[in-house]
């Protein structure tokens, strides 16, 4: 982290830890305050072998591939529903388990988001970006075709397509 010397006194450390009181006369209090955040928690590193074993045991490569296929299906079906072209090809090199699809320009995404949740119990990100309205669909190992069907039925009703 860098801060101009005249602004350093305004920055406080995220964690009060070693070095909070400078020990060396003339040392940089800014560096002393921010260079050490305490004991490093190595639990995440220690869990890596178990995570690898879990993925091997449950054939996670197949789960990822199935999730990608379902994400492709969701993107295609949303584009068919809206009549809008996809933002990118459905080629495996463009996305894995999460994709975005365009929504009609006149979509009020705040209202649509509320109605998806309140009326259909669907939580999905809707984004206004670069003069576009988008829906972001993320498929995980626990999602199924039934979930995508539910989303498409709700979008069909709420976007006034039937």
- What percent of the chain stands above pLDDT 70? 91
32 and 78 part of one domain: no
Residue 158 confidence (pLDDT) above 60: yes
Contact 35, 19 (CB under 8 A): yes
DSSP-assigned beta bridge partners for residue 72: none
Q: Is residue 49 part of a domain?
A: no
- pLDDT at position 22 is 62
List the domain range (segments joined by +) for residue 13.
Answer: 1-40
More confident residue, 29 or 8: 8
Residue 162 confidence (pLDDT) above 70: no
DSSP-assigned beta bridge partners for residue 102: 134
6 and 34 part of one domain: yes
- pLDDT at position 33 is 77
Q: Is residue 45 part of a domain?
A: no
Record the pTM: 0.73
63 and 117 part of one domain: yes
6 and 85 part of one domain: no
pLDDT band at 13 (very low <50, low <70, confident <90, very high): confident
Q: Is residue 28 part of a domain?
A: yes
Residue from 100, 99, 102, 103 nearest 67 by CA: 99
pLDDT single digits (tens) 20-66: 666 666 667 788 777 777 777 899 999 999 999 999 999 999 999 99
65 and 144 part of one domain: yes
Residues contacting 112, CB < 8 A, separation 6+? 103, 126, 158, 159
């Amino acid at each position: 982290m860098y801060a101009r010397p005249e602004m350093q006194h305004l920055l406080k450390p995220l964690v009060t830890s070693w070095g909070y009181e400078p020990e060396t006369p003339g040392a940089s209090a800014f560096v002393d305050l921010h260079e050490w955040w305490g004991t490093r928690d190595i639990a995440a590193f220690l869990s890596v072998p178990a995570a690898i074993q879990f993925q091997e045991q449950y054939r996670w490569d197949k789960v990822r591939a199935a999730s990608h296929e379902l994400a492709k299906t969701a993107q295609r079906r949303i584009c068919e529903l809206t009549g809008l072209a996809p933002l990118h090809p459905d080629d495996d090199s463009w996305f894995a388990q999460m994709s975005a699809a365009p929504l009609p320009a006149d979509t009020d995404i705040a209202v649509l988001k509320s109605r998806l949740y309140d009326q259909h119990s669907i939580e999905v990100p809707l984004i206004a970006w670069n003069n576009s309205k988008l829906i972001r669909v993320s498929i995980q190992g626990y999602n199924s075709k039934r979930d995508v069907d539910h989303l498409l039925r709700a979008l069909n009703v709420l976007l006034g397509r039937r």
